[in-house]
Structures are given as C-alpha cells and as structure tokens.
Amino acid sequence: QSALTQPASVSGPPGQSITISCTGTSSDVGGYNYVSWYQQHPGKAPKVIIYDVSYRPLGVSNRFSGSKSGNTASLTISGLQAEDEADYYCASYTSSTTYVFGTGTKVTAL
C-alpha cells in the first residue's frame, strides 16, 4: 500500500487561509469516507483534527475544515496562526482493510 501524496510544505502569512491536499486512489481516499487529518508538533504525539472527511472532534478549532473530491482530500486552515505551525498527515482506510497515512506536510506561518 503506497503512502497518500501530500505536498512537502505549505506556508502562508498569519491570518491567511491555506489548503493541504491529500491524493490517493479509488481504493482508499476515493472509495471511503474514512479520511482523517492529524496535527503533530515537534516532539509530540499526533492529534486528530478531522475524522470521517469533515468532522471535527470536540475542542478542535473551527478554523480547521476538511473536504473530499474524488480521490483527493483537503484540509483547510483558515486564519493561519503561529500555533498552527506543525506537521500535518492525512490518512485513509483502504480496500485491503488496512490504513494508510500520507507523506506529511510541514506548515509554516511566514
């Protein structure tokens, strides 16, 4: 199972919106609504910020939103803040009953 494809880095000035893409296939992202997004700060454990494509867990800022079109899922961070600087990973359930992560994206607030 190959990793889902994400851009290596995305940046933007504070206050701007940025979008991270996550491209898979019809056997994973495109075939199921079980796409999640995780935020990981350096030296910390990951934290789920989006599950089932577009649902936010309690306590997660509404500046984070998720969507999906075909084989590509997207995470949008609105009103980028310095605290949003972190690595972001998408992940999806697959037709092989396995789970695959994306390659990861480093977000920087310029």
Strands 64-69 and 105-109, bridge-based pairing: unpaired
Specify the stretch interacting with another protein by CB under 8 A; choose among 11-19, 37-45, 63-71, 72-80: 37-45
Work out whether 8 is an interface residue with another protein (CB under 8 A): no
Contact between residue 88 and residue 80 where contact means Cβ atoms under 8 Å apart: no
Q: CA-to-CA distance for 98 and 110, rounded, in angstroms?
A: 37
Work out whether 25 is an interface residue with another protein (CB under 8 A): no
Work out whether 46 is an interface residue with another protein (CB under 8 A): yes
76 DSSP β-pair partners? 19, 65
| Cα–Cα nearest to 89, from 61, 28, 42, 48 | 48
Work out whether 99 is an interface residue with another protein (CB under 8 A): yes
Ranges within 62-91 binding another protein (CB under 8 A): 89, 91
Work out whether 45 is an interface residue with another protein (CB under 8 A): yes
The residue from 19, 54, 61, 103 that contacts another protein (CB under 8 A) is 103
Q: CA-to-CA distance for 27 and 17, rounded, in angstroms?
A: 30
> Which residues would be at the binding site for another protein (CB under 8 A)?
1, 3, 34, 36, 38, 40, 45-48, 51-52, 57, 89, 91, 93, 97-104
